[in-house]
Amino acid sequence: MQETNGKHWSGHPLKAAVAWEAGKPLVMEEVEVAPPQAMEVRLKILFTSLCHTDVYFWEAKGQTPLFPRIFGHEAGGIVESVGEGVTDLEPGDHVLPVFTGECKECRHCKSEESNMCDLLRINTDRGVMLSDGKSRFSIKGQPIYHFVGTSTFSEYTVVHVGCLAKINPAAPLDKVCLLSCGISTGLGATLNVAKPKAGSSLAIFGLGAVGLAAAEGARISGASRIIGVDLHSSRFDEAKKFGVTEFVNPNDHDKPVHEVIAEMTDGGVDRSVECTGSISAMISAFECVHDGWGVAVLVGVPSKDDSFKTNPMNFLSERTLKGTFFGNYKPRSDLPSVVEKYMNKELELEKFISHEVPFSEINKAFEYMLAKASLRCIIRMGA
């Protein structure tokens, strides 16, 4: 391991945006970032982005609050030092930290059909590192909790090696950092799970960043009709940039939205992707696909006590319902190739970025998100 220690090893005090309590503005603090332990990597974060998941847990609505905490999980950085046992990364490598991981040893990692690693699957309640149950962040001896194993709202962070995807060093980190969470989730839901054929039809429920990423996947696939479904008609103009060809606002109709879509498409769409977490949207997404071959994919995360019902004949008439986690991408194995899609100009990322702020103004990113004025806000570290 590279011998670096303390909070001044980089030549200046290390800054992190700390959430001291739920819903209160983050506070820029000087923090100590301990060296990486076994199977860990310390990296310098150059760019990070704000995702709805950060806001959700920062507000602590419906979860067990865990503060003080350093949020952030969509980011791009450079390896600064590595801990014992790390053999596939070295200082200087460009990486994307990911909220879920790939140990490469468990049954899930060895299966071609799963990306749900037993060891490193997302855990929103854990605020410490796996190896010793301790935090790598502290302020004057007080531990500061981690968030989903990444905590990228810090100039430096420590991450398990299994949660880092090594990528092409030529890729601009201020763009590809978006691939470490939401954009890959929506994109993969379409490309890896729904798998629409060229010329087919697809409905997307929810036109936030994840839904628009699903639309981007449909555009890449060559779908001829991409129907956006959202309660906010103002989102359609933005959605056109991502290939959405038609728009349906359920509030504009006096019949269930799945019936509206069935009428538009001669019996239903070939594929649908649900990106809201709403139970009614999940039901509609399933019931709007065509019998015989229709496939619906659920992406949105519902409340823990939610359930829904549908007539079993919807299954017996050969409709398929699937779920996905992180777009079915294995972080270490698959993300490098997604970055290459961007480098080869197959995938467009710039249109997902609506704002950019310096790290010192990170709370503006939260304001944009809460006002629903942002797709993704890029935060430039060290500024």
Active-site choice (29, 74, 102, 274): 74
**Is 288 an annotated catalytic residue?**
no
pLDDT value of position 4: 46
8 is catalytic: no
Closest residue by Cα to residue 153 from 63, 65, 51:
51
- Determine whether 51 is an active site residue: yes
Residue 48 is predicted with a pLDDT of 98
Q: Is 253 a catalytic residue?
A: no
Percent helix, strand and coil across the chain, each to the nearest 5: 30, 25, 45
Q: Which of 32, 100, 108, 109 is catalytic?
A: 109
Asked whether the beta carbons of 365 and 35 are under 8 A apart, the reply is no
Local confidence pLDDT in tens for the 383 residues of the chain: 344 444 445 445 699 999 999 999 999 999 999 999 999 999 999 999 999 899 999 999 767 789 999 999 999 999 999 999 999 999 999 999 999 999 999 999 999 999 999 999 999 999 999 999 999 999 999 999 999 999 999 999 999 999 999 999 999 999 999 999 999 999 999 999 999 999 999 999 999 999 999 999 999 999 999 999 999 999 999 999 999 999 999 999 999 999 999 999 999 999 999 999 999 999 999 999 999 999 999 999 888 888 989 999 999 999 999 999 999 999 999 999 999 999 999 999 999 999 999 999 999 999 999 887 678 999 999 75
Which residue bears the tokens 């003080």? 68
- The residue annotated as part of the active site, out of 4, 59, 121, 259, is 121
pLDDT (0 to 100) of residue 304: 80
Catalytically annotated residue among 29, 40, 51, 69: 51
- Dist. CA 142–CA 193, nearest whole Å: 44
Q: Which of 69, 100, 102, 103 is catalytic?
A: 103
**Residue 250, pLDDT score:** 97
121 an active-site residue?
yes
Residue for token pair 């880092």: 164
150 in catalytic set: no
* Selected catalytic residue, list 73, 219, 258, 355: 73
The burial class, CB within 10 Å (0-12 / 13-18 / 19+), for 356 is middle
Active site residue 53: yes
pTM: 0.94
| In contact, 60 and 50? CB cutoff 8 Å | no
Closest CA to 362 of 93, 117, 25, 54: 25
